Structures are given as structure tokens and as C-alpha cells.
Amino acid sequence: MDPFDSSALKLQKNLLTLRRARDRLRQEGNDKEADQLAQQIARIEAVLSNMQGTIRPPTLQ
């Protein structure tokens, strides 16, 4: 696996961790913090979705 795909997998894992943290915050009633984290997650996902197919590794959804 080349370093680019390895980095993409790590990014996916980090996004999953962030989503879990957001959900945990919501369950604990920390809606403001969860909303802020959700905005950050959305920004990261928007950047990933706008990547061109040639530079976007197949591991990223």
C-alpha cells in the first residue's frame, strides 16, 4: 500500500472517531459541542467530496 492510500485510511479512521465523539456528545446532552463538531466533520467531508477522482484514493467514500 502506498503512503497516499495509507494516509487516506488513517483519515477515514479519524473521521469515524470524530463521528463517534459527536454522537457521544449528543447522548450526554452537549448539543452545542456536538453541533460544532458536526460542522467540522461536514467541512472535512465537503473537501473530500470535491476532490477530483484522479487524486482521490479509492479508500475515501
Task: Please tell me the total number of residues recorded for the chain in this structure.
Answer: 61
In a domain, 32, yes or no: yes
7 confidence band (pLDDT: 50, 70, 90): confident
In a domain, 30, yes or no: yes
DSSP state of 56: S
Q: CA angle, 30 as apex, 24 and 36 as ends, to 5°?
A: 90
Alpha-carbon gap, residue 25 to 37, rounded angstroms: 9
- How many domains does the structure of the chain reveal? 1
State the residue range of the domain holding 34: 20-51
What pLDDT, in 10s, does the model give residues 34-51? 999 999 999 988 888 887
What pLDDT, in 10s, does the model give residues 25-34? 999 999 999 9
Q: What is the pTM of this model?
A: 0.76
In a domain, 42, yes or no: yes
Grid cell, residue 4, equals 497516499
